[in-house]
Structure 1
């Protein structure tokens, strides 16, 4: 794992401890967030394609949003978007 990506993850998810698995046969890695008792609070596979700096940063932002949603802390801009859309998101299934 590139040290810049590691530092970004550690900064974004503090106080959780960030760990990365060795590369899997498909090139992906597992990012795990551990709590103070070293229990896994969250984990996700980061594919080989998501490991370049830009894609990795987007993956981390997606994880942050998912954790915020799970905790009930929806960011203000998302709350605004949901209100503007009458709480219905449109999905393009094509």
Structure 2
């Protein structure tokens, strides 16, 4: 039971953290592009058009949403196991 609770909490917190992290970076892609152009990384990315850079950055952030979805599935599985163990006769 204690192991189920710890896995449940870990998966839930991880899913929420990855979701918030992904939303933050997806919505602030323009700021990241501006920061990159103000920094030494400008030399690495200035030859790529701005729209392409933003699209590639947002596509990379999608992996964060995939990780959040996977952790949410683990959360649901652990929740189902916990509810099953609670409803089982002792």
TM-score above 0.5: no
Kindly indicate whether structure 1 or structure 2 has the higher relative contact order, using CA contacts under 8 Å at least 6 residues apart. Answer: 2
Q: Which has the larger radius of gyration?
A: 2
Query: Structure 1 or 2: larger strand share?
Result: 1
